[in-house]
Amino acid sequence: MIKNCKVGDIVLTIGPERQAAGARIVVEAKQRADYDVKAALGEIEIGRKNRDAKVGVFVLSKRTAPKNLSSLTRYGDDIMVVWDVEDTTTDVYLRAGSVWLGR
């Protein structure tokens, strides 16, 4: 939607069997230490606009996420998840984020 903008790594569309059928979800994932909550929410807002999505999921690597950030947090229409690629027990946060969004 925004010319030459690539923000929004993945776009999911909710299937017809769900209450929010057709709704679009944008996912942005980062492993960079310079992302705090404010920066992540700002980027996912751009991602939602760019990908014409109603909600966003911002996935931060546990390696670089702010230490005081909860593993799963909702900010209005956005979900922030802290995930560790090397620890499958953190996959539950990705799944819980998708449940909040009606998948």
**For the residues 8-23, what does the mean pLDDT come to?**
80
Pairing of strands 78-83, 55-61: parallel
Confirm whether 4 is domain-assigned: no
**pLDDT 10s digits, 20-75:** 788 888 999 999 888 899 999 999 999 999 999 988 999 999 999 998 889 999 99
Report the C-alpha gap between 65 and 84 in whole angstroms.
10
The tally of domains found in the chain comes to 1
Domain boundaries, position 32: 10-100
- 50 vs 9, 40, 56, 80, 87, CA distance in Å? 11, 15, 11, 18, 31
Residue 6: which pLDDT band, with cuts at 50, 70 and 90?
confident
Give the pLDDT confidence score for residue 97 in this predicted structure: 66
Q: DSSP label at 46?
A: H
Report the C-alpha gap between 84 and 48 in whole angstroms.
24
What's the pTM value of the predicted model, to 2 decimals? Answer: 0.83
In sequence order, what are the beta bridge partners of 80?
58, 73
Confirm whether 5 is domain-assigned: no
